[in-house]
Structure 1
């Protein structure tokens, strides 16, 4: 109860679902595991990418917003996503791949104490590949064998997530005191924290930066979801969040998982989400991400929703 199991998923904004799907499946070699809609605004796609089944901790999700403008970078935002790869040789492979496919990227360097390769997607979303150095991954993470990336260099799942804030202590204290994150390093301008000590898959870097808040647009990060094992634990966290004086959405049934949402005192939006039932609740593993899947409460509106959405494939 006192410890979270790492990251669950992270959600971003994209202007064009088709181009987004092409980049994350054809360039990054991830599997599109769910093609569904934003349950609060079903006129827009909600696309999920990850491993074979979209296991918790591997999921990158995108809301398609055709009217999305340019992101104006600033503070009080989630600003970078770390993705784990197996080895240093994997970083070399990805550097060559990015050169071949004309993806914006850095030289191999270091980030949060790990060998790293920075890159951006076609909409300027900031990411970094991190050498997982042969460490074990969760048993629930399973490779998608139809990936376009060589088996030994495939992206494993989420690693370090970076959050940039105006007031460092507001976010750091929340992670330490409420969610019992372990502090790896901390100074006046930056802290590295882990939900599972020694594990990058639950790591958050918090950086302090003055200035105006980020103006979200295409390629911006909407929220980070933290992994909770059961809905019973989710209800307990809901009570603790409210006791701390923060506003919570309460538990929301997202069909594929149960969630709650809250903002910290810097305005960072967090979700907490359960592992199950997962994306196979309404699809066979071999069919994941192919057709448009809708939660039961939207199924009666399928014809209306499909008429609005532009086909992706």
Structure 2
């Protein structure tokens, strides 16, 4: 997708239904509501996906973001939660072992339940938003900077561009992702969920939300990791006994390498904590756990080619962001 190089951009991380906090952040960034749409005279917002699920004002947040995009005041890419919603409603290919791309299991329903609940009285609205999710690109490559929800995989994105130049896939591609190991499945899993690694010795971890997993999320840029702790990238720490274990060569060889010579990359997805700052001079995560009363974070991008620590802007999520 081509973006105007002369324009300033404000990249915003995972909103997850925190509409009031998003309004406060936009105000802080100098945006004003005009004719029902939040606008800035010189700048645009670039949303990193995950507008839905978990939070108290999902429908309100979706209308705000959608209206900005429709008016040319913003762009938005797909997050894994928008993909989950699409997958819940998209039939799997004929002959598949499942009925829908996203199996209708209690675990999967739990992740979507807040969104479903808030749209119960607005079914036509929900259908309109599902159609909009289908139009969202999976990435934006603006030349000197890039954005993807979780992970930039150079080879996968190059292959995807050969089929869908602007990163917008069709319903058939979403349907094909129901097949484990297929190209479509690998694209969604890598770009929207990131890289992961199996815990050693058959161990499992239980997250703060109560989900038990045998895998943990990993960095896709570490140059020379020595231990499991060197590559973990998620809010739930590994047990010290695991973190200090040497990383096998086979696992090292599976890791991606997003080099320091690559363009600036912005991601969301990873539930960071603390004060927002660059991970590397060319890499920033803008998800700081807003829906868990963390921070909703933006980066004010102008003409720089390396990240500047002073250009992160955020608002702390207050308890007013609660259901009405």
**How high is the TM-score relative to the length of structure 1?**
0.32
Structure richer in helix, relative to its length:
2
**How high is the TM-score relative to the length of structure 2?**
0.32
Q: Which has the higher contact order (CA 8 A, sep 6+)?
A: 1
